Amino acid sequence: MLFERKILVVEDNEINRAALCVILSSQYTVLEAENGAQALSLLEKYREGISLILLDIVMPVMDGYTFLKHLKADHRLNSIPVIVTTSNNSEVDEVAALSNGATDFITKPYRAQVILQRAAGIIHLRETSVLIHQIQYDRVTGVYSKEYFCQQVRDILFRNPDVKYDILCSDIEDFKLINDTFGMDAGDRLLRQVAELCTQRLGDHGICGRLNADQFACLLEHREDYADEMFTQSDSRINSGFGDLNVIIKYGIYTVEDREVSVEQMCDRALLAANNIKGKYGKHFALYDDKLRGALLRRQAITDGMETALATGQFEVYLQPKYQIRDGRLTGAEALVRWNHPKWGLQPPAEFIPIFERNGFITKLDQYVWERVCSLMQEWDKSGYPSINISVNVSRIDIYNTNLVDFLTGLMQRYGLSPSRLHLEITESAYTDTSRQLIETMGALRRQGFMIEMDDFGSGYSSLNMLTEMPIDVLKLDMKFIQTEITRPTGQGILRFILDLARWMKLSVVAEGVETQEQLERLQNAGCDYAQGYYFAKPMPVENFVSILTAQALAANIENSRSACSAGRLDRALLVADEDEEYRAHVHRTFTDCFKVLEAASCEEAVGILGRHPYQISAVILSLTIQGGADILTAIQKERSAWKTPCVATGPLDMELERNAMELGATDYATKPHDQESLRRRVLRAMSTHTLQVRMRSLQDEACRDTMTGLLNCRGLYTITESLWHESSSVVCLFELDDLKKFNEKYGYVEGDHLILHFASLLRAHTQVDDVLVRLGGDEFLAVMYNIRSMKVAHMKEMAILRAYNESRYVDPDSVSCFAGTVLWNAEEPLDEIIGRAREILYAAKASGKEEYFLQKG
């Protein structure tokens, strides 16, 4: 038989015990015990595996009544039914047996059919009861199961239409980590404590159920006085039983207003409120409100539209260029995805990727991106563009697709590409799930030739053990790490440590999120391999990236042509201008392996060489103690104009001399005396920075524009500042869209983007073609307007823009107000000071009241 039920016979009389065994053994497995003590030993071994106990009352060692007391005191065994067998047929004995926990009572002598029928009936009732209990109650915690909880809530709401109720849901933060770190037993113990706390707090005033792994739900009568203290006390009680472990529970509360909403949806809404405060220190509970409802509706709208979007080509691949830091060469790109929705407009990935990761659609979207990227690389190869690699994201859910390796290798074969061209980015957080499947899948892909990148390294999950276990080729340093840490002295040390570690492990390093020249130089000095970020270019549509590829191909052709023309000789020259002949000889020996070294002992010689070889000279080493050294620096800038030759100035330890050299255009300053190897590093670093800047020039316009509005951004404004200084009779007008954050929260970020675009169009409509229009930040705009000679005319311009905005469809009593501050600008005043004055006027206008938006004074 597949399953045999066991019956335990506890009887001291051997003949009676044998008779019972004969009767029962035809249908059951029979276990025997001579007294209560033996029976308890057998129960400890078989526990719930015993379906029924037949128990004699009068026995030596331990009688039946004592045995019953032990049985009913043990929560593991007290559900096993007991039939008392006795030769005494008195009502007193029967009542005594039943009151001690017996299920039934049989008198001797035994009648076979009666015993079999009663045993079968009681076992069936017990199994039915257990089954019902398993359906109605959670096995681990003993509270209601999800299905039974929802049924009970529906019944309570139906029976009490006039009572207002709340659904309260709890969610344990990082519960999986608790299970992984302390084991499943500790996790189950924690769940039982949470369930016990909930039921104790509710008492007879509510019910509790377990929704899934670490989430519980309670129904209780509505209250208005929820406070953090109520929940912190609960957390403290739970933490007291877990030593150093800090258990954090977040609570979400949904007030039952619409009883037509399903109970499951009520719980979802409460959990949505709880999820909204996850990771927020000091926030213990949150109430579900209209804002969260809007987020839920938005999430549902995204889910409803995702399949159609994929089928109709609404998802677009954007590419962010990646450059080799050493020489500024474009080496590849990272593929990102944007959703160009017909109604919502262009949606950033943060809007929909987390939703797709939760509902599993991310797998389809990732595969679409991979295919599109392979198609682009094949197309570019056929067109003769330089061969580059592209990084694509691989989500955690993709890794557990058993067909992942076959899908990717098949893709590369179909498009005729080497697997090394497709870099697979796995986010660092995915590596915390160090399952064998993850390691084996990544290893299999790497053996096929794919390059594996660990994305977001440094975001908080990093460990040396992780790096040694995982099969990876490239580390991508986290954007936030680049933007903050390397600007600090200690951060620079950490950066060097990571790069040294990467070199030791033979890993390449890509720095993402590079935004400033300072960040780039620090990465360059530390020996980072590649970089990407807004300093170079933002993620861009494919056609914009193709323009960069075209420029690179053209530059390569020009370089090849020059190489052909100068065949047979070194086409890179280094000029050393120094009055010390011995020093020039040292420099000659240091650089002769990679440059044609030209020497000059005077200012006249140096200027003459620059005039004869304007494009051949790659770098200059210039002594500032040579007579006319400043003139040489001027000649360098004059001869090459915008294509400035990198120049390393040398001289004694003199801060004033060094400052003057840098102001005149020197790239670096080397204090004499110095080591020749140190000088070599300085020169090569200066050349690398110069090459990178030249190659970036083609991207300058892209980096200087606000991607949403097409106006200049802050970087663009300061790039053209010098040309603005030469203008006179200009006006600077600063605008601010006040309460834009409130507008976004009320109407959504899509409408907020439309408002920003609308205001940008108003600026264009009310200014001249040559005027400079800038989006300084999220809600600030700047207009530099020419040929305005008085504040009266300036205010007329300003008021025309404000009036046009005030009459637009976006203005209502709760909407965004527009303020302005305007000042005249002459050629002598620095731009920062002018903007500061305009901002002071704008703030004064705000303080005077929104209805007085037209009263700004300059």
Cα end-to-end distance, the chain, whole Å:
97
pLDDT in tens, 30-78: 999 999 999 999 998 887 778 899 998 888 899 888 999 888 888 778 8
Which region holds residue 568: left if phi is over 0, alpha if psi is between -120 and 50, else beta? left
Note whether 130 and 172 are same-domain residues.
no
Residue closest to 510 by CA, chosen among 418, 429, 389, 406: 389
Check if the beta carbon of residue 197 is closer than 8 Å to that of residue 172: no
Same domain for 444 and 519? yes
| CA–CA gap between residue 663 and residue 706 (Å, rounded) | 31
| Residue 300, domain member (yes or no) | no
The answer, yes or no, to whether residue 759 has pLDDT greater than 50, is yes
| pLDDT digits 0-9 by tens, 534-555 | 888 889 999 888 888 877 765 5
Residue 47 located in a structural domain: yes
Same domain as 601, residue 521: no
CA distance 642 to 718: 17
d(Cα 514, Cα 524) in Å, to the nearest integer?
A: 12
How high is the pLDDT of residue 168? 93
Residue 492 has pLDDT above 60, yes or no: no
Query: Which tokens go with 266?
Result: 């009520």
Q: How far is CA 856 from CA 10, 729, 760, in A?
A: 99, 20, 20
Q: Is residue 450 part of a domain?
A: yes
> How many other CB atoms sit within 10 Å of the CB of residue 614?
15
Query: Which position has the higher pLDDT, 764 or 488?
Result: 764
pLDDT digits (tens, 9 = 90+) for 234-247: 777 777 666 656 78
CB neighbour list of residue 393: distance below 8 Å, 6 or more residues apart: 335, 336, 366, 369, 425, 427, 455
What domain count does the chain have? Answer: 5
- Euclidean distance between CA atoms 430 and 17, whole angstroms: 62
The string of DSSP letters for 588-609 reads HHHHTTTSEEEEESSHHHHHHH
Instruction: Tell me: pLDDT of 621 over 90.
Output: yes
Residue 753 has pLDDT above 80, yes or no: no
Do 123 and 202 lie in one domain? The reply is: no
For 98-124, the pLDDT digits (tens) are 888 888 888 878 888 888 888 888 888
pLDDT average, residue stretch 255-264 = 88
Answer with the residue of higher pLDDT: 467 or 428.
467
Does a structural domain hold residue 806?
Answer: yes
Please give the order of strands across the beta sheet that includes 817-825. 772-775, 780-785, 730-738, 817-825
pLDDT at 699: 44
Per the model's pLDDT, the better-predicted residue between 589 and 465 turns out to be 589
Instruction: Summarize pLDDT for 780-816 with one digit per residue, the tens.
Output: 999 988 778 788 888 888 998 988 888 775 555 566 7
Residue pLDDT, tens place only, 351-366: 898 888 878 899 999 9
Distance CA 682, CA 676 (A): 10
Last residue of a domain, one of 114, 136, 158: 136
pLDDT confidence band for 562 (50 / 70 / 90): very low
Amino acid at 222: H
ω into 673 cis (within 30 of 0):
yes
pLDDT band at residue 561, thresholds of 50, 70 and 90?
A: very low
Which residue in the block uniquely carries the two structure tokens 């009887």? 11
Q: How far is residue 465 from each of residues 319, 431, 461, measured CA to CA in Å? A: 32, 11, 11
141 within 8 A of 218, measured Cβ to Cβ: no
Same domain (yes/no): 159, 103:
no
Q: From residue 223, how far is each of 256, 263, 475, 736 by CA, in Å?
A: 12, 19, 52, 42
The CA R_g of the chain, rounded to the nearest whole Å, is: 39
Q: Which residues partner with 753 through β-bridges?
A: none
Domain of residue 15: give its range: 6-136
* Residue 729 to residue 494: CA distance in whole angstroms: 50
Say yes or no: 688 and 599 in one domain: yes
Q: Is 397 in the same domain as 343?
A: yes
How far is C-alpha 116 from the chain's CA centre? 64
Query: Are residue 598 and residue 710 in the same domain, yes or no?
Result: no
d(CA 323, CA 546): 15
Instruction: With CA atoms as reference, report the closest residue to 446 among 470, 463, 467.
Output: 470
The bridge status of strand 474-477 relative to strand 389-394 is unpaired
- Split at pLDDT 50, 70, 90, the class of 427 is low
Q: How many CB atoms lie within 10 A of CB 160?
A: 11
Q: Does the annotation mark 512 as catalytic?
A: yes
Angle between the N-to-C axes of helices 228-239 and 184-202, in degrees from 0 to 180, rounded to the nearest 10: 140
As a whole number of angstroms, the distance between CA 618 and CA 390 comes to 32
Q: What is the pLDDT of residue 335?
A: 95
Q: Is residue 106 part of a domain?
A: yes
For residue 856, the model assigns a pLDDT of: 37
Say whether pLDDT at 479 is over 70.
no
Query: Could you tell me if residue 265 is inside a domain?
Result: yes
| pLDDT over 90 percentage in the chain | 22
Cα(299)–Cα(419) distance, rounded to whole angstroms? 36
Residue 555 counted as domain residue: no
DSSP summary character for residue 428: G
130 in the same domain as 161: no
CATH code (residue 266)? 3.30.70.270
Percent of the chain residues topping a pLDDT of 70: 83
Reported as type and span, the H/E element at residue 825 is strand 817-825
Mean pLDDT score, 443-459: 84
CA atoms within 13 A on the CB side of 255: 13
Sheet holding 29-33, edge to edge: 29-33, 6-10, 50-56, 82-86, 104-107
Mean pLDDT on 264-268: 89
Model confidence band, residue 232 (pLDDT cutoffs 50, 70, 90):
confident
CA dihedral for 693, 475, 394, 485, sign (positive or negative): negative
Q: Which of 107-121, 303-317, 747-761 is predicted with the least confidence, judged by mean pLDDT?
A: 747-761
Please report which confidence band the pLDDT of residue 564 belongs to, taking 50, 70 and 90 as the band edges: very low
Q: Identify the band that residue 760 occupies on the pLDDT scale cut at 50, 70 and 90.
A: confident
* pTM over 0.75, yes/no: no
Q: Yes or no: say if 623 and 651 are a contact pair by the CB < 8 Å rule.
A: yes
Answer whether the bond into residue 342 is a cis peptide, omega within 30°: no
Short-list 199, 179, 205, CA closest to 138? 199
Amino acid 282: pLDDT: 78
CA–CA gap between residue 647 and residue 575 (Å, rounded): 9
Phi, psi dihedrals of residue 25, rounded to the nearest 5°: -70, -15
Residue 307, phi then psi, degrees to nearest 5: -65, -45
**Other residues' Cβ atoms within 10 Å of the Cβ of residue 582:** 7
Burial (CB < 10 A; 0-12, 13-18, 19+), residue 812, is exposed
SS3 content of the chain, % helix, strand, coil (to 5): 50, 20, 30
Cα four-point dihedral sign 110, 112, 113, 117: positive
- 420 pLDDT exceeds 50? yes
Mean pLDDT confidence for 561-580: 64
Q: What is the pLDDT of residue 320?
A: 94
Span 461-489, average pLDDT:
67
Task: Identify the residue with better confidence: 454 or 578.
Answer: 578
At residue 251, the 3 state secondary structure works out as: strand
Amino acid identity for residue 288 in this structure: Y
Q: What's the token pair of residue 109?
A: 């002598």
pLDDT at 525 over 50: yes
For range 811-825, the mean pLDDT: 78
When pLDDT is cut at 50, 70 and 90, the band that residue 854 belongs to is: very low
Q: Contact at 8 Å (CB) between 832 and 718?
A: no
pLDDT above 50: residue 636: yes
| One-character DSSP codes across 643-664 | SPPPEEEEESS-HHHHHHHHHT
Q: Is 823 left (phi over 0), alpha (psi -120 to 50) or beta?
A: beta
3-class DSSP assignment, residue 214 = coil
Q: What is the pLDDT of residue 577?
A: 92
CA quadruple 820, 823, 827, 830: dihedral, nearest 10: -60
C-alpha dist (Å) from residue 78 to 49, 70, 196: 13, 9, 20
- Same domain, residue pair 460 and 322: yes
Residue 605 lies in a domain: yes
What's the rounded mean pLDDT across residues 209-236?
86
Residue type, 469: E
More confident residue, 455 or 31: 31
Residue 437 pLDDT exceeds 60: yes
Angle between helices 740-747 and 749-765 (to 10 degrees): 130
Residues 384 and 521 in one domain: yes
Report residue 855's pLDDT band, with 50, 70 and 90 as the boundaries: very low
Cα-Cα-Cα-Cα dihedral sign, residues 686, 687, 688, 689: positive
| Position 266 pLDDT exceeds 80 | yes
Residue 286, φ and ψ in degrees, nearest 5: -145, 145
Residue 746's pLDDT is: 73
pLDDT at 345 over 90: no
Could you tell me the pLDDT band of residue 568, with boundaries at 50, 70 and 90? very low
Dist CA 479 CA 522 (whole Å)? 15
**Which CATH number does the domain housing residue 656 bear?**
3.40.50.2300
One domain, residues 363 and 488: yes
Q: What integer pLDDT is reported at residue 615 of this predicted model? A: 57
Contact yes or no for 273/295 (Cβ under 8 A): no
Q: Which of 453, 512, 658, 798 is catalytic?
A: 512
CATH number where 489 lies: 3.20.20.450
- The pLDDT of residue 558: 47
Closest listed residue to residue 255, CA positions, set 293, 292, 287: 287
SS3 of residue 796 by DSSP: helix
Rounded Cα gap, residues 124 and 478, in angstroms: 62
Q: What's the chain's average pLDDT?
A: 81
